[in-house]
Amino acid sequence: MTPGQRPSAEPRVEFLSVGFDPRTLGDVHDWLAARDATSGYAYVVTPNVDHMVRLEGAPAAVRDAYARADLCLCDSRILARLGRFAGVELGLVPGSDLSADLFATLLRAGDTVCLVGGRAGDAERLTALYPGITIRQHCPPMGLRDDPDARRAAVDAAIAAAARVTLFAVGSPQQELLAREMAERPEARGTALCIGASVEFLLGTQRRAPEPVQRAGLEWAWRLLTDPRRLARRYLVEGPAIFPQVWRWRRARR
């Protein structure tokens, strides 16, 4: 496998005008296990319902960031079920599961991880949980989406870290834009994961829903109940737009 290329030649499946790689966590684990800090740069995006709603009508640069990813993985059980309703099997690799697997089984003593985003002090907290792994953190300013200089500084910091894995944790679509812009830099190496709030789950500052709640596809409700002020608009106002979006897409295909 050539570094920096998708892990196989299997075609993507299209859903809501986004190409998904229908992989399992095991598939992605094996791909990441074969990559190190010297591998040709590759990046992974993990769209969920929130991403898909915002991608409809998004600027070309944002859509391009998803299209050019080396892996585009379905992050959401709700999205996977909506895909199945529309006749498309998307697979399922939640970004939080991918991050947990990364730290639990893939990273080794001596590896470096670059965290772009998160809260001040997260690098030290992660180092305490995973001794032997070097964590370098860059905290960009707010308004990253509309600040090309700040994005350039973030990419510079990620490249300078020479990390095996870069974790972009600045929310969508900022993190996907960063990952795509890093791909334009010929000196970039390693693997970047766009992981949203996954670091908060790793550190325990947010709790994931119990496994039965996850399997039922109700993790969104759990998160809403635990942080209603921040998530009410996303889940109750913006998120339901996915249903007419899927309906229109399904009808157009017919």
5 closest CA partner among 60, 70, 88, 93: 70
Condensed to tens digits (0 to 9), the pLDDT of residues 2-23 reads: 445 566 557 899 999 999 999 9
Straight-line distance from the first to the last Cα atom of the chain, in angstroms, rounded to the nearest whole number:
37
Q: Rounded mean pLDDT of the chain? A: 90
Condensed to tens digits (0 to 9), the pLDDT of residues 48-73 reads: 999 999 999 899 999 999 999 999 99
% of the chain exceeding 90 in pLDDT: 73
pLDDT reading at 135 higher than 50: yes
Q: What is the mean pLDDT of residues 148-165?
A: 97
On whether the CB atoms of residues 174 and 145 are closer than 8 A, the answer is: yes
DSSP code at position 165: E
Q: Provide the pLDDT for residue 133.
A: 96
Residue 91 φ/ψ, nearest 5 degrees: 75, 180
Token reading at 234: 């996303």
Q: Where are the alpha helices (DSSP H) in the chain?
A: 25-33, 49-55, 60-67, 77-85, 95-101, 122-129, 148-161, 174-183, 198-203, 211-215, 219-226, 228-232, 242-253
Q: Provide the pLDDT for residue 239.
A: 78
Its pTM stands at: 0.90
pLDDT reading at 228 higher than 90: no
Pairing of strands 18-20, 13-15: antiparallel
DSSP code at position 245: H
Q: What is the mean pLDDT of residues 163-169?
A: 97
